[in-house]
């Protein structure tokens, strides 16, 4: 188990790229699949041969991404619209029941969904916004993770990854609080499962967090409206460490917060 502070990704992790077909026959679920990072990750996983389960709140964007992946010659993805701001335990239970019955396996879950809310003082946040942001960023990630973990533990490459963003300072509102909580949730789940080991005496399920740093996404533009797009990197340039976690490149890594 790694220390709770951020571990900088190594040069090899930064450059890590999965070969075409490296994830053949694997099923990878990506929440926030239609966002800036989620879309890039979905394309990369599909290129590596995975069947990608696309989860998002926006049906039209899901269908557009679905068409893009099919046209690229990738395995037919699975679309699952989920209203993460409103969904509860029964909704996530149905998602996992579907995956188990229709696909028969689940190898990785990556939580890319995020709601920025209003970057403002806590005093100025409406309660409805607080609840919505917490549901999308934290509660949905917790529920889906808990329901998915039994399936993930049946995979030889079971991996659960939370996207991190360290924003404990003033004016980051519900988003900042939710992201601190997500990091704590990641460590707790890793601690609670690290005694479960595979036949290779390595963690049966790797549970980690990844902070890609500033990247060119719609959420970033909303948070920094005065920033020029050229000042940040494209999401696909920051996938290396994330792909390394999905591939279980180092099978011993769990409970680690990695920063690009």
If you write DSSP's letter for every residue of 158-190 in order, what string do you get? -EEEEE-----STT-HHHHHHHHHHHHHHHHHH
Q: Are 189 and 207 in contact (CB under 8 A)?
A: yes
Residue among 188, 102, 100 nearest 138 (CA) = 188
Of the candidates 255, 147, 144, 145, the one whose C-alpha atom is nearest the C-alpha of residue 210 is: 255
First to last CA, the chain: 19
Q: Which residues pair with 112 in a beta bridge?
A: none
* Residue 1: per-residue pLDDT: 43
Distance CA 137, CA 146 (A): 15
For residue 190, give the 3-state DSSP assignment: helix
Q: What is the DSSP-derived secondary structure letter of residue 137?
A: I
State residue 85's pLDDT score.
97
3-state secondary structure (DSSP) of residue 160: strand
**What domains appear along the chain, each with residue ranges and CATH number?**
6-259 (3.40.50.720)
| Spans of the chain below 50 pLDDT | 1-4
Task: Give pTM, 2 decimals.
Answer: 0.95
**Judging by beta carbons within 10 Å of its beta carbon (0-12, 13-18, 19+), is residue 67 exposed, middle or buried?**
exposed
Position 21 scores a pLDDT of: 87
Integer Cα distance of 41 and 98 in angstroms: 22
Q: Note the pLDDT of residue 5.
A: 66
What letters, b where the CB count within 10 A reaches 16 and e where it falls short, cover 94-128?
ebbeebeeeeeebbbbbbbbbbbbbbeeeeebeee
Confidence at residue 12, expressed as pLDDT on a 0 to 100 scale: 81
Phi, psi (rounded to 5 degrees) for 70: -65, -45
- Cα–Cα distance measured from residue 135 to residue 140, given in angstroms and rounded to the nearest whole number: 6
The pLDDT assigned to 3 comes to 45
- What is d(CA 148, CA 132) in angstroms, rounded to the nearest whole number? 22
Is 25 strand, coil or helix? coil
């Amino acid at each position: 188990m790694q220390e709770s502070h951020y571990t900088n990704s190594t040069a090899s992790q930064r450059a890590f790229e999965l070969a075409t077909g490296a994830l053949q026959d694997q099923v990878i679920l990506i929440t926030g699949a239609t966002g800036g990072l989620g879309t890039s990750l979905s394309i990369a996983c599909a290129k590596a041969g995975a069947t990608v389960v696309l989860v998002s709140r926006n049906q039209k964007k899901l269908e557009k991404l679905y068409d893009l992946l099919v046209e690229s010659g990738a395995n037919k993805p699975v679309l699952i619209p989920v209203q993460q701001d409103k969904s509860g335990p029964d909704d996530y239970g149905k998602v996992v029941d579907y995956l188990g019955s229709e696909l028969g396996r689940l190898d990785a879950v990556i939580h890319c969904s995020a709601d920025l809310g209003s970057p403002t003082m806590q005093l100025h946040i409406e309660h409805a916004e607080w609840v919505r942001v917490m549901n999308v960023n934290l509660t949905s990630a917790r529920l889906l993770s808990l329901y998915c973990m039994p399936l993930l533990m049946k995979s030889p490459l079971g991996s659960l990854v939370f996207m991190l963003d360290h924003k404990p300072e003033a004016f980051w509102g519900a988003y900042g609080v939710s992201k601190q909580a997500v990091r704590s949730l990641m460590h707790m789940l890793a601690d609670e499962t690290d005694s479960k080991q595979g036949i290779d005496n390595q963690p049966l399920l790797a549970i980690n967090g990844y902070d890609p740093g500033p990247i060119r996404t719609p959420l970033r533009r909303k948070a920094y409206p005065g920033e020029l797009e050229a000042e940040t990197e494209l999401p696909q340039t920051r996938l290396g460490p994330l792909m390394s976690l999905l591939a279980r490149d180092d099978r011993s890594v769990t409970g680690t917060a990695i920063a690009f």
